[in-house]
Amino acid sequence: MRVLSGIQPSGGLHIGNYFAMMRRMIDFQNTDELFCFIVNFHAMTTVHDPNKLREGTLSAAMDFIAVGLDPARSYFWVQSDVPEVTELTWILSCLTPMGLLERCVSYKDKIASGISPNHGIFAYPVLMASDILAYQAQIIPVGQDQKQHLEVTRDIAIKFNNVYGDTFVVPEAAIDDELAVIPGTDGQKMSKSYGNTIEIFSTEKELREKIFSIKTDSATVQDKKDPEKSTLYDIYKLFVSSGDAEIMAERFRAGGLGYAQVKKELFDVIWEYFRPYRQQREELEKDPDGVRDILRMGAEKARHVATETMELVRERIGIRY
Ligand code: ADP
Ligand code: TRP
């Protein structure tokens, strides 16, 4: 199967990204054809500082390689290095009903959160549809927040196929129910845009501060606690075996376990979990040009696939005369 997903370089990659998308993508590379990319054009909907975009792009690429993405066994590139995708975005825009985009919850949420809407934020799902359809991808591993965008992609693909004849593979979202929405330090969905992330790669001090800032209720040490209502427990169980998660759940229920103690143990498991990846990340940081070369080679391979799709699309829509 052809598996594809992208990630925005709008801030440090975090454990929500890791469990819902990155780790699952890396698993696919053993069994399937993996397309993985850094979506810098999408990040432009909110990031207007060129240095931040540049650095964020390279940094996201290093994060991904450090946690195990193997560019030799996958297609790994930066979105804007395949310009055919923006051409396809226009073509698909002309088939996308306004109502489909107006119904998108992530657009409505962004506006509700006070972001002044630009056309890019509104048209975001069409660019995402192009990302997926240009590569004829079948399986799209994402978190719950992207489910609706995948539905928009399917609708656009079906419409195109109906109007112009079978052209695009109609993709499927792959959402893992257990990992669909990973909470941030404030208990809401963890997101780069909400400032509530726990980053995969931060200093020991930053990580400790983040863990200690996780919101808890006012229960005392002696109180019996419900693990299912605790953000600390939700995050802890991502990092340990189901047996160890159950032991922690029992300690919550028994009482006598304070939140400060849980935070200390949570810090330890996260710090240990990412230890080998941190070493790998430090090596990559020493050679940014090496990482740029990897991305360029990845873009060349990816472009080859997108070009083939575009040849067919241009033929189908009557743009050739
Ligand atoms: P962010 O929301 O932090 O900007 P992205 O939009 O780049 O993250 O998301 C990259 C991938 O990670 C997407 O598949 C998205 O669904 C997933 N993802 C991001 N945050 C979470 C979360 N808190 N829980 C589950 N999945 C998430
Ligand atoms: N919109 C996705 C997000 O914010 C990122 C993305 C862009 C993507 N293009 C994609 C995900 C194509 C999957 C497939 O998380």
**DSSP per-residue codes, 242-254:** HHHHHHHHHHHHH
42 touches ligand 2 (CB under 6 Å) = yes
Residue among 52, 159, 189, 237 flagged as catalytic: 189
Task: Please name the helix (run of DSSP H) or strand (run of DSSP E) that holds residue 261, with its range, or none.
Answer: helix 259-273
Continuous H helices in 75-203: 84-93, 98-102, 105-112, 119-133, 147-164
Pseudo-torsion of CA 8, 13, 15, 21, nearest 10°?
A: 40
Is residue 33's pLDDT more than 90?
yes
C-alpha 189/C-alpha 198 separation (Å) is 12
Mean model confidence pLDDT for the chain? 96
Q: How confident is the model at residue 193 (pLDDT cuts 50, 70, 90)?
A: confident
Helices and strands, counts by H and E, the chain: 15, 5
**CATH architecture for the domain at 2-181+287-317:** 3-Layer(aba) Sandwich (3.40)
Look up the pTM and report it.
0.95
Question: Domain spans of the chain?
Answer: 2-181+287-317, 202-273
Backbone dihedral region for residue 255 (phi beyond 0: left; psi -120 to 50: alpha; all else: beta): left
Q: Which atom of ligand 2 is nearest to the CA of 124?
A: 1
Q: Which atom of ligand 2 is nearest to the CA of 141?
A: 13
Q: What is the pLDDT of residue 194?
A: 83
319 C-alpha to center of ligand 1: Å?
36
- Quick one: CA dihedral 301, 296, 202, 10, positive or negative? negative
Please give the structure tokens belonging to residue 281: 């990340």
Pocket test for ligand 2, best of 142, 156, 191 (most atoms within 8 A of CB): 142
40 touches ligand 1 (CB under 6 Å) = no
21 touches ligand 2 (CB under 6 Å) = no
317 C-alpha to center of ligand 1: Å?
34
% of the chain surpassing 70 pLDDT? 100
Q: Which atom of ligand 2 is nearest to the CA of 137?
A: 14
Is residue 290's pLDDT more than 90?
yes
What tens digit of pLDDT does each residue of 154-190 get? 999 999 999 999 999 999 999 999 888 999 999 999 9
Q: Any catalytic annotation for residue 286?
A: no
Residue among 110, 210, 225, 263 flagged as catalytic: 110
DSSP letters along 217-236, please?
-S--SSS---GGG-HHHHHH
What tens digit of pLDDT does each residue of 108-144 get? 988 888 888 899 999 999 999 999 999 999 999 999 9
- Reply yes or no on domain 202-273 having CATH 1.10.240.10: yes
Q: How confident is the model at residue 249 (pLDDT cuts 50, 70, 90)?
A: very high
